[in-house]
């Protein structure tokens, strides 16, 4: 090939084609050939067979979440994400000509239907929704007579115009700020990296299984109790059991241990690791971990970034681990002075490939302040709530509220005592505020202050509504 070929998901007029043109500009390509490949699988097959050098596909949408078609297509490809971009996506409804007065159905891609779900239910209830390989293909089929003449299609405005269709309505997406993330990838042919996951409980075991399922890395496991590592090896969750020599030579070390144990483990092993190796700890408190490990990593030339996967189950243990535990969840990354240029981009790509739906980057103090509120305080409340003498008789009296409030009381007290005390500077003010608010309700009930209690409860409802208004794509309910 004299000029590089860029294969994209869709046909001319699709959002992926638009993204591909912009990616070509990022690559500085003066000359290139765009290859429409209709599906994400078509892009992956073309990359694997050498038909194209680069591939472009949608990876996630702020309303509809991960693009399942792309995720499945990429599962068995070793690839590198070269760039990503968010593109504003506006869906227009076209018909074949202006004479169409009543629609019998609408054709488009499943992602377009998901992004316009509420609007379509309001404006066109009960209409057939016919899934197509791509929004532009739906427009092409309607124009060529391969769809019923009284059908409409959802697609980009330029696609409908390109096929000579009549514009009926614009901007049918549920969120006016609707955006889709597109990725530019190339096939990666290299010696698999070596990863050691230290600590094979629920999170560590799931991390090892996700790495095995979604990457070409060679995955080793280490666990304080040897029998757990042996079980993981027998399950195929890891390729081998790590010893000191393997840890010293690995490319990536991911400790998933108790907080105190993480400190001692890293202080022991970092000095013997090869220069340039990467460490990503998964401890739920970052300030102390980063403060103590950062200088050790800098001294020995190790790249160190803090991490915290916002995932889990009410009960832990390797036996409950599974590769898709992280599907759609958030991974928090906390850079340090030992984080090298490009590490955040690399880790973002890695964790997205493992199924995480969102990557949040913040400093260590912000992490601990927010986690004190969103996670640790919730565990404090749940742990206190279940100690009521009437809780044991809940059967027949409980609905979702009781289950939601008590689920996380099944914590590992040895882990959480360290997390609470390590983060006391952020957690204690949260507890104090909670006590203050509870005491206001207590006093209003005790004094039978109906008006005062109504005001307090209204303030809570309004606070929740403001939270959801500020986060329309990620409501907290």
CATH number at residue 98: 3.40.190.10
d(CA 370, CA 362): 10
Give mean pLDDT, residues 218-234.
Answer: 96
pTM for the full model?
0.60
Same domain for 389 and 242? no
CATH number at residue 399: 1.10.3660.10
pLDDT in tens, 248-289: 999 999 999 999 999 999 999 999 999 999 999 999 999 999
Same domain for 207 and 345? yes
DSSP character at residue 73: H
Residue 121 lies inside a defined structural domain of this protein = yes
CATH number at residue 306: 3.40.50.720
Same domain for 161 and 222? no
Same domain for 257 and 291? yes
pLDDT score recorded for residue 189: 61
- Final residue before a domain boundary, out of 128, 153, 187: 187
Of residues 88, 46, 38, 40, the one with CA closest to residue 67:
40
Alpha helix (H) residue ranges in 250-399:
259-269, 287-299, 343-353, 364-371, 377-385
**How many other CB atoms are found less than 10 A from the CB of residue 361?**
15
DSSP character at residue 307: E
Residue 12 lies inside a defined structural domain of this protein = yes
pLDDT in tens, 19-71: 999 999 999 998 999 999 989 999 999 998 889 999 999 999 988 888 899 99
Same domain for 354 and 386? no
Query: What is the residue range of 140's domain?
Result: 92-172
For the ranges 283-292, 324-333, 449-458, 466-475, the lowest mean pLDDT is seen at 466-475
For the chain, how many structural domains are there in total? 4
Residue 32 lies inside a defined structural domain of this protein = yes
Indicate whether 2 pLDDT > 70. no
d(CA 20, CA 251): 32
Same domain for 282 and 299? yes
| DSSP string covering 167-184 | EEES---SSTT-EEEEEE
pLDDT score recorded for residue 188: 76
Cα end-to-end span (Å), the chain: 52
- Final residue before a domain boundary, out of 362, 392, 413: 362
Same domain for 230 and 355? yes
pLDDT score recorded for residue 397: 86
Residues 6+ apart with CB under 8 A from 190: 78
- Please, what's the b/e burial string for 61-94 (b: 16 or more CB within 10 A of its CB; e: otherwise)? bbbbebbebbbebbeebebebbbbeebebebbbb
Residue 474 lies inside a defined structural domain of this protein = no
pLDDT in tens, 164-203: 999 999 999 999 899 999 999 998 765 568 999 999 999 9
Same domain for 356 and 212? yes
Same domain for 166 and 61? no
pLDDT score recorded for residue 1: 44
Of residues 319, 324, 328, 333, the one with CA closest to residue 282:
333
Same domain for 55 and 141? no
Residue 466 lies inside a defined structural domain of this protein = no
Of residues 211, 210, 233, 219, the one with CA closest to residue 324:
210
């Amino acid at each position: 090939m004299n000029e590089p070929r860029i294969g994209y998901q869709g046909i001319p007029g699709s959002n992926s084609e638009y993204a591909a043109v912009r990616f070509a500009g990022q690559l500085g390509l003066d000359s290139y050939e765009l290859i429409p490949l209709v599906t994400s699988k078509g892009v992956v097959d073309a990359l694997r067979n050498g038909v194209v050098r680069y591939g472009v596909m949608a990876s996630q949408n702020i309303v509809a979440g991960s693009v399942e078609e792309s995720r499945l297509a990429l599962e068995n490809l070793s690839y590198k994400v070269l760039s990503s971009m968010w593109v504003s996506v506006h869906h227009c409804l076209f018909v074949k000509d202006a004479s169409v007065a009543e629609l019998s159905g609408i054709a488009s891609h499943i992602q377009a239907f998901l992004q316009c779900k509420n609007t379509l239910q309001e404006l066109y209830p009960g209409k057939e929704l016919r899934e197509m390989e791509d929004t532009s293909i739906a427009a092409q089929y309607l124009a060529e007579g391969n769809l019923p003449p009284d059908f409409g299609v959802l697609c980009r405005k330029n696609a409908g115009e390109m096929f000579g269709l009549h514009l009926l309505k614009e901007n049918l997406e549920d969120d006016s700020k609707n955006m889709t993330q597109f990725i530019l990838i190339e096939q990666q042919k290299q010696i698999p990296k070596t990863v050691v996951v230290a600590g094979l409980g629920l999170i560590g075991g799931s991390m090892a299984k996700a790495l095995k399922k979604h990457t070409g890395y060679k995955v080793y496991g280490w666990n304080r109790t040897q029998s757990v590592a042996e079980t993981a090896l027998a399950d195929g969750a890891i390729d081998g059991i790590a010893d000191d020599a393997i840890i010293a030579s690995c490319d990536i070390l991911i400790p998933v241990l108790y907080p105190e144990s993480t400190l001692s483990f890293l202080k022991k092993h970092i000095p013997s690791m090869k220069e340039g190796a990467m460490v990503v700890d998964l401890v739920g408190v970052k300030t102390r971990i980063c403060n103590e490990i950062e200088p050790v990593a800098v001294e020995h030339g190790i790249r160190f970034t803090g991490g915290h996967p916002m995932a889990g189950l009410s009960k832990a243990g390797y036996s409950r681990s599974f590769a898709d535990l992280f599907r759609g969840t958030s991974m928090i990354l906390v850079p340090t002075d030992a984080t090298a240029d490009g590490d955040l981009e690399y880790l973002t790509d890695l964790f997205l490939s493992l199924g995480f739906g969102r990557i949040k980057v913040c400093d260590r103090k912000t992490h601990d302040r927010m986690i004190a509120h969103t996670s640790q305080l919730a565990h404090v409340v749940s742990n206190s709530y279940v100690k009521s003498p009437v809780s044991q008789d809940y059967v027949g009296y409980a609905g979702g509220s009781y289950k939601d409030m008590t689920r996380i009381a099944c914590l590992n007290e040895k882990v959480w005592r360290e997390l609470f005390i390590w983060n006391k500077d952020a957690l204690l003010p949260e507890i104090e505020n909670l006590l203050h608010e509870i005491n206001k309700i207590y006093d209003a009930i005790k004094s039978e202050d109906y008006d005062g209690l109504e005001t307090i409860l209204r303030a809570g409802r309004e606070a929740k509504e403001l939270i959801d208004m500020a986060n329309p794509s990620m409501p907290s309910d």
